[in-house]
């Protein structure tokens, strides 16, 4: 991977990133930006969590959309009750690990380019992206399968990022977390 990056740098020269960009991003679950990706019966909004998106953009923070392991593995027509069990099989773990490695690579590219990755907003209650709560035939404590693999990959890559669980219905709490992350940069 490093060799490919060096080769690309030589071909196009090192890019000048000192332009109009805000140089900050936050990772957000796929379904919070696109409710159409949710399991049948789980969507709470027609499109996405507008208040979160506009709140981040108003703060001049870019949005890095995380992949949805559920959508990748099971498509749109998936039942909510089997997802947690299936994501914890070896095949499910392998998919989550692969997606986590790719996401960690993207995070590293942003950081190497001088972009601050403020943190990760997970989706509490999700069998994939839950942080404090997951789904296993109902909401229960613990991280989702993708969150576990992403945490392990970030640790392995020595990428230290804050992570917080949020809900579609509480975008103001998500933005309060982001404001804390921003304050920590200033302090």
Q: Give residue-wise pLDDT tens across range 76-126.
A: 888 666 677 889 999 999 999 999 999 999 999 999 999 999 999 999 999
pTM: 0.87
Q: What is the mean pLDDT of residues 3-21?
A: 69
Quick check: helix, strand or coil at residue 155? helix
Q: Domain map of the chain by residue range?
A: 38-186
Query: How far is the C-alpha of 137 from the C-alpha of 183, rounded, in Å?
Result: 38
Q: What share of the chain is helix, strand, coil (3-state, %, to 5)?
A: 50, 15, 35
């Amino acid at each position: 991977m490093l060799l490919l990056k060096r080769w690309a740098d030589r071909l196009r020269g090192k890019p000048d990133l000192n332009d109009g960009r805000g140089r900050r991003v936050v990772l957000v679950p796929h379904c919070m930006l696109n409710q159409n990706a949710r399991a049948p019966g789980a969507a709470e909004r027609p499109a996405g969590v507008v208040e979160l998106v506009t709140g981040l953009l108003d703060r001049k923070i870019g949005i890095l959309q995380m992949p949805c392991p559920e959508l990748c593995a099971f498509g749109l027509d998936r039942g909510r009750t089997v997802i947690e069990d299936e994501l914890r099989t070896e095949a499910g773990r392998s998919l989550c690990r692969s997606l986590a490695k790719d996401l960690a690579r993207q995070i590293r590219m942003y950081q190497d380019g001088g972009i601050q990755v403020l943190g990760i907003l997970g989706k509490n209650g999700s069998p994939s992206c839950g942080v404090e709560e997951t789904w296993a035939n109902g909401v229960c404590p613990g991280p989702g399968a993708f969150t576990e693999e992403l945490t392990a990959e970030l640790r392995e890559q020595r990428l230290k990022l804050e992570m917080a669980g949020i809900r579609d219905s509480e975008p103001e709490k998500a933005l309060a977390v982001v404001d804390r992350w921003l304050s920590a940069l200033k302090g």
